[in-house]
Structure 1
Amino acid sequence: MKKEKPVWNRDNWPIAAAMNGFPGILPDGSLVQKQSVDQWAATLQTVVDAGFSEFDPSDSWLRVADLSPDRRREFMSLVKALGLSIPAISTTRKSSVIDPVHADEYLAYNHRVIDTAAEIGAQSVTFGLFGELTEAQQKSLWFWTAQGVKNPDDPDTYRKAVARIRELGKHAEECGIEVSLEMYEDTYIGTADGAVRFVNDVDVPAVGINADIGNLVRLHRPVEHWSSMIDKVAPYAKYWHVKNYMRVEDPEKGLIFSYPTPLALGIINYRAAIQKFLAHGFCSAFLCEHYGGDSLSICAMNRVYLRTLLPR
């Protein structure tokens, strides 16, 4: 089932709030998954108060696809009552390929995410090939400064990844949903060239690239220039996680540092990047993400900035 592309402008382009600033496990050990509707409402009201009309209930906060039908209806009634909508659902560290224990379970879960997106009226889902945080990453102030799980340099695993994403992509295409694959270091889509190769190997029109190059420019190692990455992935871009970092390099001393910034202040020039994407017909939602501090308020600042960059 193919949907016509919407015609959006800076006033109505969907720009969602990320929920990564809200933990899925609360300080008392209870799960957001088990909260009452009133407790969900208290959290989502803060999203509304920050000026958002869209949000992405990333499964690091709430697994909407694993709610019972009655609970999901209650959740969506709340979303509507608050004047919110859900343009997309992101999955986090639910790799259907490389997880040594849960890969098959996650594949089934990702299919449920697609069905749920179609049920609730979302246009996109995001999948990644990155694993759980390592112990070293969990102990770090910024998890990206420690080495994470790598996708194996193995042709059989690569072919399995392509086959499983193709399976998900065909399911999504039947539901009128797009699949956006999140760029993330040390995965098969961890570089611009790798992401383009992978999407072409999958070869399903509904499957594209989530050009979350913020995941890459923050690394304390050499990376490709942001502009070069954008040029390569722009023709394949779909639902887009946007965030930014300042990056400082001292080649003589071999030092590289980064830290999170609002979109307008970091090393990625989103004014230029968005223009390149629009030139290739980009027509998907944005997700504002940020790590550190009052992430929701910074995402709100980023939303305002993004609207100035979109067509009138």
Structure 2
Amino acid sequence: MQRRIPDIAAAMLPFGDTVRGVAVQDADPALWLETLREVADEGFDAIDLTDSWLKPGDLSEARLTDLSDALVQANLRPVAISSIRHSVIDPDTGAENLSYTHRTIDAAATLGIDLVSIGFHRPLLPRQRRNLWFWTVDGPHDRDDVETRSQATVALRDLCKHAASVGVQVSLEMYEDTLLGSPASAVRVLTDAGMDNLGLNPDLGNLFRLHRPIDPFLESLAVCLPYTNYWHVKSYYRDEDPATGAVTTFPAPMESGSMDYRSAFRMAVDAGYSGAFCVEHYGGDGLSVAARNRDYIRHIHQTLPLKKEQR
């Protein structure tokens, strides 16, 4: 008996929010279809509607129908919407981002998508945008105090109640210098909210790439897996010079990067994780590398030994 291969979705990170000088948000659906077919041509049958490309939560009902039609024509199943840099605890735009996230949940339900991934990371600062790799420069930091944690709890309960009413799960993406910036803190946020349809998205690549000391990848994953309901995956080469403390990182295919995903997937299978994966990559031809990562995940899952009860 073969193990079921999980859904492996393409992130839309390789595509910007404009196409041939036109804002994707306002573009003719024919241009959406053109991009979606490019994804399908790389062998994908599932997609994460990453909102750095297109914001479903800001589309009218008619435009959501257009998007749904384009996905059908491209033979792509949307398995999630990942809402990027719309933190509901942002000191300046938290209330606006909360309203936007509610609209995104409604859009997911309209499109037949049963999961929305959100995070507490905020828009990149100008100094981050000027760097080749934005994570080499510190960005905004969440305050870790009673008031901020209470704000997070209230907002997440509000979102999850709404999401549950329309059959949608919510996943919290881990990201540095936020309340979701370590396994212990992320689990605390989740348990404080105490909602059945809330889980973690252990995107530990966001932490592994930092030019600073980090916790071991597999140890961090072990803490997160019992709470995981979605998983952004990507890898990096990481080099550390013990003499100077200097750290260098840059994106890598999952099979050759410094993160041991073979062991990670074995751990996930043993923990009973059966959710979807979203393959990401920064730089160069990100879509082709994402397709390579998809094939790597499929290969590993096909070759891992089945437990006795699965045979």
TM-score by length of 1: 0.93
- Count matched residues: 302
Are positions 1:285 and 2:280 aligned together? no
**Alpha-carbon deviation of 1:90?**
0.3
The answer to whether the Cα contact below 8 Å between 2:44 and 2:291 also exists between their aligned partners in 1 is yes
Q: CA RMSD in A?
A: 1.5
Alignment equivalent of 1:86, drawn from 66, 78, 82: 78
The answer to whether the Cα contact below 8 Å between 1:99 and 1:131 also exists between their aligned partners in 2 is no
The corresponding residue for 1:3 is none
Matched to 2:191, the amino acid is N
> Which one is further off, 83-92 or 107-116?
107-116
Alignment partners' CA distance in 2, 1:69 and 1:8: 38
The answer to whether the Cα contact below 8 Å between 1:241 and 1:288 also exists between their aligned partners in 2 is yes
Alignment partners' CA distance in 2, 1:207 and 1:199: 7
Alignment partners' CA distance in 1, 2:78 and 2:238: 32
The corresponding residue for 2:17 is 24
For structure 2, the 5+ residue unaligned runs are 304-311
For structure 1, the 5+ residue unaligned runs are 1-6
Are the structure 2 counterparts of residues 242 and 200 from structure 1 closer, same or farther at C-alpha, using a change threshold of 3 Å? Answer: same
The answer to whether the Cα contact below 8 Å between 1:262 and 1:301 also exists between their aligned partners in 2 is yes
Are positions 1:263 and 2:293 aligned together? no
> Which one is further off, 175-184 or 296-305?
175-184
Are positions 1:52 and 2:52 aligned together? no
SS of residue in 2 equivalent to 1:263: coil
Alignment partners' CA distance in 2, 1:212 and 1:22: 20
Alignment partners' CA distance in 1, 2:35 and 2:126: 29
The answer to whether the Cα contact below 8 Å between 2:83 and 2:119 also exists between their aligned partners in 1 is yes
Alignment equivalent of 1:66, drawn from 34, 58, 68: 58
SS of residue in 2 equivalent to 1:127: strand
Are the structure 2 counterparts of residues 278 and 175 from structure 1 closer, same or farther at C-alpha, using a change threshold of 3 Å? Answer: farther
Alignment partners' CA distance in 2, 1:99 and 1:295: 32
Alignment partners' CA distance in 2, 1:221 and 1:301: 28
Equivalent pairs: percent with the same residue?
40
Report Cα offsets for 1:69-115 as digits up to 9, x if no partner: 11110111111111111000000101111141x21111111111112
Report Cα offsets for 1:40-82 as digits up to 9, x if no partner: 1111111011110111121100011211111110111111111
Are the structure 2 counterparts of residues 99 and 26 from structure 1 closer, same or farther at C-alpha, using a change threshold of 3 Å? Answer: farther
SS of residue in 1 equivalent to 2:78: coil
**Alpha-carbon deviation of 1:270?**
1.3
Alignment partners' CA distance in 1, 2:230 and 2:257: 21
